[in-house]
Structure 1
Amino acid sequence: MILDLFFPNRCIECSRIIDADLLVCSLCFEQIHFTHFDYFSENIIKEKCRLLFPVENTYGLMKFEENGLSRKLIHELKYKSRENAGKILAEWTTERLDFKNKKPDILISVPLHPKKLRERGYNQLHQFTETLSKFYSIPFDHELIQRNHYSKAQALKDKKHRLEAANPFSLSKPISGKHILLIDDVFTTGNTVSSVAWEILNAGDNKVSVLVMAVDA
């Protein structure tokens, strides 16, 4: 295409010209620190989640490093209008994650507040989730969980808004007897996934597992 000729796609790390459907060149790809977690085994995400809620299995694709390439990849996805980065990260995930014969029933991604969704134009987790759904033949549901409050910096919140934030998510419909894989971009404290997980767990006889693009460990 003419646009590709005048505005070629470049590696987000070294600026080499690369194919339009890539994020990094082959050399910089080697700099990405993948976790090599086993979904069913012990890992840092499972350890942290167990302190917050009952969790089944956990997986993180990359190690999130403040000055590393993983941070740049997530930044491109969330703030640079690179929605297709979600599809690429999902493809990297499918090359490394094996559910064996114990696939979850539904894929659920952490939602954005409608105002935030309008501002950004897309939920950075949707293409990631939908690509995994297609590859593993697991249904997804973008409507099950809704975010109740538009978030802003904690320091700017008054007492009323801080109290509201104690219940940031809710279910849009009943669900019971399902094993749900909860998907988020970066796992740090685990507070976000914990808030969503408890809504799911309290709704009925459900189980929750967690998958993230990157883990800050």
Structure 2
Amino acid sequence: MIKGLKSLSTLMTPKVNSAKRIPRAQISIKGLFQLRGGQCVACLEPHAHFGLCTPCRQDLPANHSHCRCCALPIAYAGDELICGQCLKDPPPFSRIVAPWRYRFPVDGMVQRYKYNGQRAYARPLIQDLSTHLTLMLETHPERTPDLLLASPMHPARRRKRGFNQAADIAEHISRQSGIPWSADLVVRNRRTRPQRGLNREERLANLRGIYQVTRIPPASIAIVDDVVTTGATARSLTEVLLEAGAREVQIWALARTPG
């Protein structure tokens, strides 16, 4: 059972006579998914599957009740209702798929991955998102996109962070599903203020005019990201893709904030 996130032992300094460990610098997103066993990143249980033991995986905050359009968590059971915001201002994208709510322990797992580069914390979330999408596309094959688009990051920010988490997620989903992915169909043409701490209107203003489509997009696209907060990034990216010729855009993410 999840009791708090601790550093994964394979990312700590090895002790004398300890078992052979994989150096952190050699752990790629592809390599992490080849290591199916190991310790649970949440409780350090020695028998984990893709980084989480069964009890901790069951404790993840599933986003069962949500708006069928923007995936905003709602209090009513089911996924066929539409939230007030989507009724008032329908988004340009067709749907958001986000299996979890962005709260403990998912929020801590994403933050350790995104801001500290601890990819082991993302491994179970990315793998389970891929499994969730596989099941969804088996049930609704008409939702299969022509292309996965990793949510773009400004080159300067990517150099500072060392990676684009959306590209990690898109690459793994592509490898599991066979759907091609791209990191350069849309680029950021200037830096902006960080989105953290901004409300919805400020986020939309912050993103206005920053995206540029580099070539004619395919008809159906799924934008891949880590977390959907207000939907401002999703709206801005979708609008430029539709203007460039795409006909349908979905958003696939690990988690959705409660609002």
TM-score (ref. length: structure 2): 0.67
- 2: distance between equivalents of 1:74 and 1:89? 9
Q: Give the alignment partner of residue 127 of structure 1, picking from 152, 155, 168.
A: 168
2:132 to 74, 79, 96: 96
Q: CA shift at 1:95, angstroms?
A: 2.5
1:70 lines up with 2:106 in the alignment: yes
Tell me if structure 2 keeps the 8 A contact 1:90–1:129.
no
Q: Alignment partner of 1:32: what SS?
A: coil
What corresponds to 2:42 in structure 1?
13
One-letter amino acid matched to 2:191: Y
Cα displacement string for residues 57-90 of structure 1 (whole angstroms, at most 9, x for unaligned residues):
321021112xx10101111220121235444322
Query: In 2, are the aligned partners of 1:49 and 1:190 still within 8 Å (CA)?
Result: no
Where in structure 2 are there 5+ consecutive unaligned residues?
1-9, 23-37, 73-81, 196-203
* CA–CA separation in structure 2 for the residues paired with 1:174 and 1:58: 23
Q: 1:172 aligns with which of 200, 205, 214?
A: 214
Three-state SS of the structure 2 residue aligned to 1:95 is helix
**2:254 maps to 1:213:** yes
For residue 108 of structure 2, what is the amino acid of its counterpart?
Answer: K
Cα deviation per residue 1:169-204 (whole Å; 9 max; x = unaligned)? 1112222x5100011111111001111111101001
1:27 aligned to which of 46, 55, 58: 55
Equivalent positions of 1:35-184 (< 5 A) are 35-36=63-64, 41=68, 44-45=71-72, 47=83, 51=89, 53-65=91-103, 68-97=104-133, 98-99=136-137, 100-102=140-142, 103-153=144-194, 165-175=207-217, 177-184=218-225
Give the TM-score taking structure 1 as reference length. 0.78
Whether the 8 Å CA contact 2:70–2:95 is kept in 1: the answer is: no
Contact 2:219 2:246 in 1 (8 A): yes
Q: State, as a whole percentage, how many aligned pairs show the same letter.
A: 22
CA distance in 1, matches of 2:69, 2:101: 16
Cα pair distance change 1:211/1:77, threshold 3 Å:
same
Aligned to 1:159: none
Q: For each residue in 1:124-160, what CA deviation from the matched residue of structure 2 results, as whole angstroms up to 9, or x when unmatched?
A: 1122111111211111011111112223357xxxxxx
Amino acid at match of 1:142: A
**Letter of the 2:116 counterpart:** K
Partner Cα distance (2:194, 2:141) in 1: 42
Do the aligned residues in 2 keep the contact of 1:76 with 1:85 (CA within 8 Å)? yes
CA 1:216–1:181: 2 relative to 1, 3 Å = same
Work out whether residues 12 and 72 of structure 1, in 8 Å CA contact, stay in contact via their aligned partners in 2: no
Residue correspondences, number: 206
Moved more, 45-54 or 119-128: 45-54
Q: Is 1:49–1:194's contact at 8 Å kept on the other side of the alignment? A: no
